[in-house]
Structure 1
Amino acid sequence: MQTTHLGNSDLKVSKICLGTMTFGEQNTEAEAHSQLDYALERGINFIDTAEMYPVMPRAETQGKTEQYIGSWLKKSGKRRDIILATKVAGPARGMQWIRQGQNDLNAANIRAAVDASLKRLQTDYIDLYQLHWPSRNAPIFGQKQFDPALERPHTAIAETLSVLDELVKAGKIRAIGVSNETSWGVSEFIHQAEKLQAPRIASIQNAYHLMNRAFEQGLDETCFRDNVGLLAYSPLAFGQLTGKYADDLNAHGRLTLFPPSWSPRYTRPLVLETAKRYADLARANGLTPTQLALAWCYSRWFVASTIIGATSLKQLKENIDAYEVKLSDELIAGIEKIHAESHNPAQ
């Protein structure tokens, strides 16, 4: 497994990252531990989680994912062998169970979130601490355009950076990152870090897959010039790019287990049509749809690490094995043709 330095940080991460948001909902604690063991066996040293996990978010399960990772760390003694990333939730009306709804990215909330995550994870430091989504109004989670009518009070980036700087100096976190961010957000974080002499963001964790290539519309240049590594999440588009829903709309998975309102951008008619086209392309070239989607994502020059998730060891093995798949020029051309005709349907 190849590794790379994440942005300008000293974190050396595997090119594949184990995502864990199924732990505590779709996976038991024992299954979670088995996935973590197997990932390490395959050379993955990078684990990503969040305080709000598992999904879909519920008061009854919030924090279980970090707890399962924490119990594995205690049992395995592997803390020094992994790069551990987690996230603090941003403002959200629907998650009143996290700090009684006090989820803005201000100093008090971030300090409380870090301490709670450290306790659940049973560790005294977090390698990469990420802001799960912006405090300000921004076009994320399926909102395709910026809408000034949605402006709201928010915490200034300078205040957020100041408390993260304190936490780095205190040894509680090693590096910082953003998630679900825009080009303006990345640039402003860099600008404010230089102004405050605070830590620069090392990474951005955004959705990136065959049906959402919005990162290529300016964020790729921004992150290249500012040395910010992309952590690509949902590389299989909530399972759409595995082909299982193209074969059977009622297939067992996140899109049928959870209400449609949880992830409406992944059930748009054009998404379903495009998923079938990619599945047909893969199979016509002797690949599974999963192999096609992941091999393509793994090969992109600006992806520092691809975050994969699974609900079984069989799925996890296929996802990791896809790292060895190399796509031909003809197959890449086929991908680009579909992309040109069906532009970012899940953005």
Structure 2
Amino acid sequence: MLLKQTKKIIAGVMVLWIAYIPFLIASEDSVEAVLEDYESPQKLFMNIPNAQEVENTQSQSNEAAKVNSSKTDSVQKTKMRPRDIATPVVPQWIYSTAIIETNFSDGSFKKGLGTLLQNGFYLTSSEVVYNGKIMPKAIYVKMQDDMTANLICVSKLQVKSVDLDAGLALLKVSQSVDDFCQLRPQTYYQDRIFKRYGIDVFASHRDIAPYTKVNYPYFDKMFVFVPQSMKIGRVATYYDFDKQKEQGYGFEISTDSYEEYTYGRAFYDDKGGFLGMMSRAGVGYVPVFIERDVVQDFLCNAQENGIIDDNNIKKSCQVLGENRKRFFTDMKGMANFY
């Protein structure tokens, strides 16, 4: 009886094994591979952390959270305020640059650039303030400085001298105005601009070579002045009938350099030295680079003819002495207005 039961059990096992063989054959994995990832129910409970480990993990998480919170607070405490943000470092002549706006008696309007000189004078192109027989009704100047990038109205100006031959005009502060060009007493802000940013156009009298790289103020899309550079062209000349020869008075400029604020734009070297100004001389038809020798001669003429009485310009002209070059003398001053 026992033998028969044993034989039945063995036969049953054989049947099960034979039935399982097709599944093993159908699979590409071996038995070992099939059982490789198998885990017994006992193993499922072997990696459960105990209470102490859970407490340690929570403690570490809390410490990390405190450190991150401390860093965040530190960043917030050191966050820069608007008044702590410094304006970009630019050449000082950027703050000597001004926008000149001229209103004429017939309602017409002109604008261009100008340069602040010492003692409240402004140098600009004659194209900005001259309109034939129509007289300027009001001239205002707008500037920016290193305290703010915004252009604000600074002063009301009056014409002191216009030389159409040289293409230059000299203006002088007549009244102080507020940010909106309304008359008011002079402020600390305006006084600071006049004392800090006046350009000395007599600082050098060395010759300028053609095709030299020059720097100039550019009015960008954010409505602030930024430095730009370009190369001047060949020498611009006119025929001097007194001297019976061609005389250079500036340099030609590529038409690609013409911008909204072409007239009155000043030029500087890499050291900040004044080189000249963009304008149209009486002998030409297009804007050119008027070199600083012409500017110096223009200012000295204004001083010598009693149009202005400025000690700085007077001394500078005396120091210039024999190095002074004279221009458009054959015109006999017929195109000068005061």
- Measured against the shorter chain, the TM-score band is under 0.3
TM-score relative to the length of structure 2:
0.26
TM-score relative to the length of structure 1:
0.25
Larger strand proportion, structure 1 or 2? Answer: 2
Q: Which has the larger radius of gyration?
A: 2
